[in-house]
Structure 1
Amino acid sequence: MTDTKTTAVTDAVLDAEVDDIRIRFAVEIKSRPPYPGETPRLEPVRDRLATVGVPLLVAPLITESTGRALTEAQWSWADTHGNADVRARGIRISCRVPSRSVRRTRRGMPRGSGSWSIIRSLISDGVVEGEAELAERAGVSQPRVSQVLSALSAAGLVERQGRSTWTVDRSALLDSFSNHYADTRGFTSWFYSLDSPHQTCERIMAAGESLQADTVISGDVAADRLVPWRVPTHTTVYTGDHRLAAHLELTPAQGPDDANVELIVPADNSVLRIRREDDPALAHPMQVILDLQRLGGADRHEAAERVREWLLAR
């Protein structure tokens, strides 16, 4: 029988038996999966659960990056899609469901550049005052806006308040988009520069302006301009013009491991279409978060969380 003290510490207790080995798991249930950068903040929770049993975190879809961060932080974990990494004395369960199986269960998260443009705008605005206005801003048709809003409503991410007014659960929509967004970087050119990332961005943006090429800054430099916290070490710029790479006086690199500059022609046009409104040289904060998570490292994950907090506080 589980005592009152145990139930106060855990959301649930799971007793497992494999052959002659008995293991008790102390379960923490989350309504959303944590960001990789949030795992250090879960350390007190993990230590509290460890007084009862092996800490086991359960949440909706846990991405590969989040799963790795949880495992490195000495969590066992499982999600509602069948993915898991459970480690205890005499027990090791590791499972990653094929992505196509997960994709079939992603109700309410429309895909495609037009849909992503709408979703980026919704994350920024929080309220829709007319579908026609949202369609114009996102660069899509009004019927497409209606389809996306209906799908997001069915998923509980937006709620209709009137004939043409919708309210957005910005935090939940941001998390869902972050978990489900495909890597659509398209074509990437890598370079190395001895200049600071800020100086390198200025050179690339100037070259883009001379070519009348659509360019936008993301990653380290954009995060530093939004929420200064860590010194940028990497340059990430998106462009709509393949010619720009040839006009940069930068040292070509063999690949990402030898580079500190990446120039990306995105397959997803929403990266260039939806930007930070008061500084169009910067990518939408959601893209900045995605790139920080992609580039990796504990400090970048923390920076991503700070950008997230800044975005949701606006």
Structure 2
Amino acid sequence: MLTEAGVALIPRGADRVELSYADARATLTVVASPTPPQVEAAERPAKRGPVPWGTFTLLRRMVQRPYATQQELAVLVGVSQPRVSQALRTLADQDVVQRTSSGWTLRNLDEAIRWWLENYPGPGGISTYWYGLAPAVEQARTVVEMVAAPDPHGVAVSGDVAADIIAPWRAPTRAILYASTGVNLADEGFIPAGAEEATLEFTVPRDPGLWQPSGMAERFIPDGLPLADPIQILWDVRRSPGSDSEDAAQRVWDLLRRDHRDRGYAA
């Protein structure tokens, strides 16, 4: 668990502790704690080497902004134009994107989303798991208020709660939140829990692309909660507990398809 001071709490007598990532804006200090939450490295890529976050972010942005120039995509992704050009060539070689007279776009929306889901290694970073008695959406609001006080743009809601806002299907059972810094959720009455029984998953991620850029979030009504990128929501819903998680994920996928078509682009 990361405290507000950037302190990681590690259980006494632990046989082994693995912390694979420390946020660049915080310094981790390891101290003993009698009742820490379960801390796990968020899903990592199977292959060694740096994760091409720019490529994954590029495809996220192209789902919401087809027919864009390299210059426009560079601004949306937050990388240099040469880096965008390199990523576009990589995706074009795999028949995921194509260049047209109107700009770069996806060859097929469903195939592009499927490619992203199959290749995305997870957000990386450090995750902690918590249990609370309040409904999942109220748990999400509590954490958003905690994080948003010092950094209004440093928190995003994903998973069941976000899916219920943009494509209602089932009552949320777990809140998934991403934040730029760690917070001590025990201060708000949350209880440390294992990954299986947790009602709230809190991650300080490495992936810079899961935050929605300015100008894109308004298509998905946030209900007062800042939402993660819609493909991130889809990815998180698919791994949510429950036998109907795939049905809930399909609702989000259908929303992306309708949004794409409503703006005049073939899916």
> TM-score normalized by structure 2?
0.71
User: Percent same amino acid among aligned pairs?
Assistant: 29
Higher-strand-fraction structure: 1
Pair member with larger Rg: 1
| Alpha-carbon offset, residue 111 of structure 1 | 4.7
Question: What does residue 99 of structure 2 align with?
Answer: 160
Check conservation: 1:238, 1:263, Cα contact below 8 A: yes
Q: Does 1:204 align with 2:149?
A: no
Which of 1 and 2 has higher RCO (CA within 8 Å, sep 6+)?
2
Question: What does residue 221 of structure 1 align with?
Answer: 161
Distance 1:160 1:186 in 2: 34
Question: What does residue 292 of structure 1 align with?
Answer: 237
Spell out, residue by residue over 1:228-255, the C-alpha distance to the aligned partner (whole angstroms, 9 max, x if none): 110111111000102x235750322232
- Pairing partner for 2:201 from 262, 266, 285: 262
| Alpha-carbon offset, residue 274 of structure 1 | 4.8
Check conservation: 2:132, 2:190, Cα contact below 8 A: yes
| Alpha-carbon offset, residue 144 of structure 1 | 0.9
Question: What does residue 173 of structure 2 align with?
Answer: 233
Question: What does residue 308 of structure 1 align with?
Answer: 253
Distance 1:182 1:274 in 2: 21
Number of residue-to-residue matches in the alignment: 205
Q: Which moved more, 1:245-254 or 1:152-161?
A: 245-254
Distance 2:122 2:109 in 1: 21
Spell out, residue by residue over 1:191-218, the C-alpha distance to the aligned partner (whole angstroms, 9 max, x if none): 1111111111111111111121600000
> TM-score normalized by structure 1?
0.61
SS of structure 1 residue aligned to 2:239: helix
- For residue 86 of structure 2, what is the amino acid of its counterpart? Q
Q: Aligned-pair RMSD on alpha carbons?
A: 2.2
- Pairing partner for 1:188 from 124, 127, 131: 127
| Alpha-carbon offset, residue 277 of structure 1 | 1.6
The alpha-carbon distance between structure 1 residues 196 and 246, as it changes in their structure 2 partners (threshold 3 A), is closer
The alpha-carbon distance between structure 1 residues 248 and 127, as it changes in their structure 2 partners (threshold 3 A), is farther
Distance 1:153 1:111 in 2: 19
SS of structure 1 residue aligned to 2:217: coil
Structure 1's unaligned 5+ residue stretches are 1-98, 104-109
The alpha-carbon distance between structure 1 residues 132 and 262, as it changes in their structure 2 partners (threshold 3 A), is same
| Alpha-carbon offset, residue 258 of structure 1 | 3.0
Structure 2's unaligned 5+ residue stretches are 1-45, 260-267
Ranges of 4+ aligned residues in structure 1 off by more than 6 Å: none
Check conservation: 1:292, 1:303, Cα contact below 8 A: yes
- For residue 255 of structure 2, what is the amino acid of its counterpart? W
Question: What does residue 114 of structure 1 align with?
Answer: 54
Question: What does residue 16 of structure 2 align with?
Answer: none
Spell out, residue by residue over 1:274-312, the C-alpha distance to the aligned partner (whole angstroms, 9 max, x if none): 585214811111111111112243311110011001101
Please give the residue correspondences for 1:1-314 in structure 2 after superposition, counting only pairs within 5 Å.
111-128=51-68, 130-162=69-101, 165-168=103-106, 169-212=108-151, 214-242=154-182, 244-246=183-185, 248-272=187-211, 274=213, 277-278=217-218, 279=222, 281-314=226-259
| Alpha-carbon offset, residue 150 of structure 1 | 1.1
- For residue 210 of structure 2, what is the amino acid of its counterpart? V
Distance 2:257 2:205 in 1: 25
Check conservation: 1:204, 1:248, Cα contact below 8 A: no
Spell out, residue by residue over 1:113-172, the C-alpha distance to the aligned partner (whole angstroms, 9 max, x if none): 2222111101222322x111111111111111111111111111111113x712212211
SS of structure 2 residue aligned to 1:127: coil
Question: What does residue 4 of structure 2 align with?
Answer: none
Check conservation: 2:127, 2:201, Cα contact below 8 A: yes
- For residue 267 of structure 1, what is the amino acid of its counterpart? R
Distance 1:311 1:140 in 2: 24
Distance 1:204 1:234 in 2: 13
